[in-house]
Structure 1
Amino acid sequence: MADLQLYLASASPRRKALLEQLSVQFEILRVDVEEQRQPHEQAADYVRRLSLDKAKAGVDVAPIDLPVLGSDTIVVCDGKVLEKPADLDASRTMLRQLSDRQHQVMTAVTLADRNHSLTTLVTTNVWFKPLSDEEIETYWNSGEPCDKAGSYAIQGLGGRFVTRIDGSYHAVVGLPLYETDTLLKEFQKLRGKNL
């Protein structure tokens, strides 16, 4: 097996599967970072900070000083961050807000080690079809929206609500492939080593 190249500070199976597509050797680090938006913190600043916090938390527990990848994804509509829904009512409110209109999905990716950090932010515009209350409740009962930002997963059953996107599909899923690959190359130059 090839030498370990980096750590992924995420338990997300989606991020793991996407990072595997970049053909890097990595191990997963479990980190616990509070996802709490600060008062007056802009959405883009919030998601960047979360990705950096996750990467730094990974650096703190990494057994070897290798790059740690942290990432976070948020859904934003009218400047409001739509977090993971607590219950059906919260999910219904979010999905009604997204119905028949455009919103943004922001994914930030950070690579960090003990001496460096680099962050990139990818914003994708997503459009939803009109959603009926019946569709929303049926979707909630599938269990899929429960732990998803904005109460939907584009790569799952929620994909049927999406009429089009402008930007990176993979960023909406949780890890933008092109931008992450570019970040890996930039970080490699920063470290003066091969990843």
Structure 2
Amino acid sequence: MDLDETPKRAEHPRSLARRLSAEKARAALAAIKGEADWQGSYILAADTVVCVGRRILPKPELVSEASSALHLLSGRSHRVYTGICLVTPDRTLRQKVVDTKVRFKRLSGLDIESYLASGQWRGKAGGYGIQGIAGSFVVKLVGSYTNVVGLPLYETVNLLVGEGYEVHNSWMES
């Protein structure tokens, strides 16, 4: 699924995360061919956006873009928004956006150079993955750690349970 993740003009980061998660869910729903394939199914889609103020940091494709993001995040607080979109068996969309505030230490040139060399920035919102080396850059986190990883588990489980999905029973059967 190829989705244009470009923010709309003056789009707030929270709104972008919400919109992209819904677009991903709708695209997955559209890919289902027949009613028999859908019956009783759920679709869960998510998108994570990192921003400094209202400045949205893209998922860097080049090392130079990742370097710019890390320099911007160095010694500053930023926000991580993840939009979650659940399509229920009756095709209703349920959404939630989770907000986490993260503060990075002041990064040295060696910190940035080493992180870039690790390649862990690839495909990551804001150019970093908290579950790897970049976790050592975090001075303070207010909110959900799993949100910064990319899927806020507490909120996702509650969204599923609220729609009648037996989360814990499913876990016990595997």
Q: TM-score, normalised by structure 1?
A: 0.77
Deviation at 1:51, TM superposition (A): 0.4
Stretches of structure 1 that go unaligned for 5 or more consecutive residues are 1-30
Aligned counterpart for 2:115 among listed residues 133, 139, 149: 139
Query: Aligned pairs, how many?
Result: 161
**In the alignment, does 2:122 pair up with 1:152?**
no
Residue of structure 2 in register with 1:69 after alignment:
44
User: Aligned with 2:148: secondary structure?
Assistant: helix
Deviation at 1:171, TM superposition (A): 0.6
Runs of 4+ in 1 over 6 A off after TM superposition: none
User: Aligned with 2:163: secondary structure?
Assistant: helix
Deviation at 1:187, TM superposition (A): 2.3
Q: Deviations over 1:82-137 (max 9, x none)?
A: 01113222112111111112110101100014631010000000010110122111
**In the alignment, does 2:140 pair up with 1:164?**
yes
Query: In 2, Cα distance between the equivalents of 1:87 and 1:105?
Result: 21
1:1-195 residue pairs with structure 2 within 5 A? 31-62=1-32, 63-65=37-39, 66-113=41-88, 115-188=91-164
Instruction: State whether residues 74 and 81 of structure 1, in contact with CA within 8 Å, keep that contact through their aligned partners in structure 2.
Output: yes
Query: In 2, Cα distance between the equivalents of 1:185 and 1:88?
Result: 40
Q: TM-score, normalised by structure 2?
A: 0.86
Instruction: State whether residues 140 and 146 of structure 1, in contact with CA within 8 Å, keep that contact through their aligned partners in structure 2.
Output: no
User: Aligned with 1:130: secondary structure?
Assistant: coil
Q: More displaced, 82-91 or 143-152? A: 82-91
User: Aligned with 1:124: secondary structure?
Assistant: strand
Query: In 1, Cα distance between the equivalents of 2:23 and 2:16?
Result: 10
Stretches of structure 2 that go unaligned for 5 or more consecutive residues are none
Instruction: State whether residues 88 and 137 of structure 1, in contact with CA within 8 Å, keep that contact through their aligned partners in structure 2.
Output: no
Query: In 2, Cα distance between the equivalents of 1:141 and 1:179?
Result: 34
